[in-house]
Chains A and B, each alone.
Chain A
Amino acid sequence: MSGELAYLGFAEAAELIRAKKLSPVEYATALLARIERHDGITTPSSH
C-alpha cells in the first residue's frame, strides 16, 4: 500500500474519497503505520 498512498496528493485522494474508492479510515491507518515504521529516522512527531 503505503508506496501508493504515501505519495498521493490529497486533491487526487479527495476524488477517490468522494467516489468511495478510498476509505478515510484506510488512508489514515496506512499513513499512521508508515509513520510508526519510519519515525525513528526523520523524527517529525513531537509527542
Chain B
Amino acid sequence: MTPERALKAARAAEAEITAGRWRGPFHGVPYALKDIIDVEGLATTAHSKILKGNIARRHAVVTERLEAAGGVLLGKLSTHEFAIGGPSFDLPWPPARNPWNRDHFCGGSSSGSGAGLAAGFFPAALGTDTGGSIRNPASMCGITGMKATYGRVSRRGVAPLAFSLDHIGPMTRTVRDNALMLQVIAGHDPGDPGSADEPVPDYGALLGQDVRSLRIGVIRHFYTKDVAGNPEQVEALDAAVKLLAEVGAEVSEITLPALQDFSACGQIILAAEAYAVHEQWLKERPEDYGARARERLLAGATLRAVDYLQAVRWRLQLRDRVAAAFANIDAAITASSMDPACRIDDDEALASNYWRQARMPFNVTGQPGLVIPAGFSNGGLPLSLQLVGHPFGEAVLYRAAQFYEDATGWTKRHPPGLSE
C-alpha cells in the first residue's frame, strides 16, 4: 500500500471538489491495482523475483484514465506470478487468501483484487483476464468482475501474458460500480495493437430496466454435460435461470461446441504466446520463477509453429459457431466456476480449477463475460454466475446483472469476522 501517495491524492480531490470542480463519479474514490499494471514511480513486480525493483517510468493507459477521473490509488495488489502461476508460497510475497474462509483459495490470478473487495478494503480495483483471471477471483470471493470485449480496454503499460487473449477489466462489489468504472477505462488506444476503435456507449444507461423480453440463451451443457458442476453451483444457476424466466425474459437453451474444445484451443494459444513473452527470462533466470509459474510457462517451450497455427484456425471456427448460436439472443447465462473455492493447500483441487470453469471460451471468442455472485454454498462460500454478451454488448449484461442483483440481494452479504 502507498498511504502517503493516497492521502496526497485524496487531499487534492477534496480541494477540487470544495472549489466546485467535481470531475465525476470516480472523483475522490479509493481504488487499487493488480500489480502487473504500471503506476509511474511505483514498482511493478508481477509478484515475481524477476521484476523485483522494477520501477515504472510512466502510467499504464488505464492508470492514466483512473487518475484523470480523480481516483485515489491506495496501492498495488497481489497476483499470481506474472498472472499465471499460483497460489504460490515460494515467491517474495505470500498469496492472498479468501476473506470468506482464510483456509480457502481466493481465486486468481487477480487474487488481491477479489480478496480486497470482499474484505471491504476498497470499492474498486482492476484485474486482468487471459484465461479467466478476473472472473475466477470474482466467483471465489463473491464480487462482480467484468472481462469486457477484447480490445475494449487498452493494455498498454500492463505486463502481457498472451497478446491475443489478454484483457483488463473492472472488479467491484456492485454492478452499478462496475459499469461506472468500465466507463472510465474503456476506449480506443492507438498504442495497443489489439485496441478496438469502437464508440463507448453509456454503460449505465440500461441499469434499472427490467429484463422483460430480453432473449437469454442458457449454455447449460457447459456445467451439466461437458463438466459436471458441483450440485450447489448447478442449483444456483438453475434458480437464476428460473428467476429470469419468471420475470419475463425469453429464456431458451443454446448449444455451443464442447467446453473442452475452447479450453484446449485457448490453452495452446496461451502457452505459445506466454512462452514468447518469457523465453529469455526462462532461459537466463529459471530459478527466479516460482515453481507453479515456471511449470506452466515451460509448457509453451515444446509447441511447434504448426500447433499454434492450427489452434488459431480452430479459434476462428469456434468463434463462428458461437456467433451463429448467439444470432437470436441478446445475452447468455452460464457458469463461471464449477465449484466454490477449494482449500488453498489442496493441490489437486487447485489444479482442477483450470478446467472446471467456463471462462476460457470467451477469451477465445473475445466476447464480454460478466461474473456476479449467485448465492452461497452450505459451507458459506460464494457461488456465481456468468453473463455473456455479443461483442461490445456490455450494457445488456449490466442491465440483466443489475436486475438479478436487486432481486436477490446477494451483494449485501459480507464475510464474517471483518466487521471492524
Contact = CB atoms under 8 A, between A and B. Distances in A.
Interface stretch (B111-119, B158-166, B256-264, B380-388): B111-119
Contacts of B26: 10, 14
- Chain A contact residues: over half helix, strand or loop, or mixed? helix
B97 to A, nearest CB: 5
A35 to B, nearest CB: 5
B221 interface: no
Interface residues of B, number: 63
Contacts of B13: 17, 24
Contact of A29 (B7, B17, B94, B180): B7
Specify the main secondary structure of chain B where it touches its partner.
loop
B142 interface: no
Contacts of A47: 1-2, 35, 42-43, 45, 75-76
A46 B7 contact: no
Interface stretch (B171-179, B234-242, B300-308): B171-179
B134 interface: no
Interface in A1-47: 2-3, 6-11, 13-14, 17-18, 20, 23-25, 27-29, 31-32, 34-39, 41-47
A10 B74 contact: no
Contact of A8 (B74, B76, B123): B123
A9 B26 CA distance: 11
A37 to B, nearest CB: 7
Nearest to B36: A46
Task: Give the 10 A-B CB pairs with smallest separation, nearest first.
Answer: A24-B28, A6-B120, A44-B112, A14-B25, A44-B116, A10-B123, A28-B10, A24-B10, A24-B13, A46-B35
Interface of B: 1-3, 6-7, 9-11, 13-14, 17-18, 22, 24-30, 32, 35, 42-43, 45, 47, 72, 74-79, 93-99, 102, 106, 111-113, 115-116, 119-124, 172-174, 176-177, 180, 414, 418-420
